[in-house]
Amino acid sequence: MMADNGLLLTVGCISRIRSIAEEHGTQETFKVQVLDIFRYIIDKSFPIVYPDFSDAFDVMITDGRFKTKCLLATALNFLVYEHKLRKGSVVSITECTSLIDEESLEQSPCVILQSVEISDFVAQSNTQDSWECIPFCDNATENERQDLPLLGCRGYYLPLWNDDDFFGSKWLSDPDLNLASPISHAITIADLDSFWKTLPRPFPALIGRIVGKARLNHYGKSSDDKRRYPYQAYVEIEDRTATISVCIWDSLCVLLFNYLHVGDVVAILNYRVSRKFAPRSNAVYPTSDAVKIEISVNPSNPVAEIYKLPPEDLGPEWKLPGVPYR
């Protein structure tokens, strides 16, 4: 049947794809178009074992009426690597299977594309508007509808061709963080460095200006044991007494990396303190040589908090430095 976009797609197959996949002996070929391809690095909970691979690809396909997201069989990863399977590809699905990820709370079957024949390519516009208006079928899972991998425990996708950049709308949303009450007790970096071993926990709030921000670091590996957001990011904070490195870990990177900017005045609460062993190779602003510690903010144990503060709300005694021109 001809789809609305003029392609000879098998209209109606998306609403039946789960039942087709569950009938393993059924030989039914249907033609769809690839709307997008999403990459992620597997982890130990990924339920499919295939030699010599660490990537998995979820493929958004449409029959012109509905869309759905399926896993590309990892044995077919080469189709993406060789740029044969891409956005706009028109493909015939000749075999698909169904798998339930026992690690998933949804326990909904995931459709795996086991055999794909590429028959055509139709260029798409640079915007997603043309395919985002195509609805999901009624039985689509939450992982299909969101920027979430279909299998394994990862909570994010990566760009197709590198591991260093972020990908997806969740990185760009405004976290809208607001202090519930004014900060009553704060400490300078120099005093924290001198007395951190004897201070009660949680530590007093640390207030300073961001004077440096390093690139995002993704440290996810296929050997990971259920690391949902294996990310790390550093910022340098300066007050009137010293400069210190702040390490942001895991899911807080998703929340804060694009929220925090050089020049922002911030308050950090519920952080951890550890000894600084050596200068970082990726530091973009030098920390004070006299400071022997760095701090980390984590999504748990304890749950760290970072808030932006209007500079005019701080008293003159803080004397925060300006942003250096570099």
Question: Which of 223-237, 261-275, 277-291 shows the lowest mean pLDDT across its residues?
Answer: 277-291
What pLDDT score was predicted for residue 2?
42
DSSP string spanning 279-323? --TT-SSPPPTT--EEEEE-SSSS--EEEE--GGGS-GGG----P
What pLDDT score was predicted for residue 176?
79
**Cα angle at 96 between 95 and 102, to 5 degrees?**
155
- Nearest C-alpha neighbor of 293 from the set 173, 203, 171, 163: 203
Mean pLDDT of 58-63: 96
Domains and CATH numbers, the chain: 14-145 (2.40.50.140), 171-318 (2.40.50.140)
Q: Answer yes or no: are the C-beta atoms of 25 and 95 closer than 8 Å.
A: no
SS3 assignment, position 57 = strand
How far is 127 from 188, CA to CA, in rounded Å?
47
What pLDDT score was predicted for residue 295?
96
More confident site: 112 or 8: 112
How far is 321 from 241, CA to CA, in rounded Å?
10
- Nearest C-alpha neighbor of 210 from the set 290, 323, 288, 309: 323
Q: Identify which of 50-54, 60-64, 226-230 has the greatest average pLDDT.
A: 60-64
> Could you tell me whether strands 205-213 and 217-218 are parallel, antiparallel, or unpaired per DSSP bridges?
unpaired
Structure confidence at residue 305 as a pLDDT band (50, 70, 90): very high
What pLDDT score was predicted for residue 326?
54
Write the single-letter amino acid at 160: L
Residue 103 has pLDDT above 50, yes or no: yes
More confident site: 174 or 252: 252
Provide the percentage of residues in the chain whose pLDDT is more than 70.
Answer: 87
What pLDDT score was predicted for residue 126?
47
Q: What is the pLDDT of residues 135-175, one digit of tens each?
A: 998 888 888 888 999 998 899 999 999 998 999 989 988 88
Mean pLDDT of 107-113: 83
Residue 127 has pLDDT above 50, yes or no: no
Residue 24 has pLDDT above 90, yes or no: no
Q: What is the pLDDT of residues 183-212, one digit of tens each?
A: 888 999 999 999 999 999 999 999 999 999
Structure confidence at residue 132 as a pLDDT band (50, 70, 90): confident
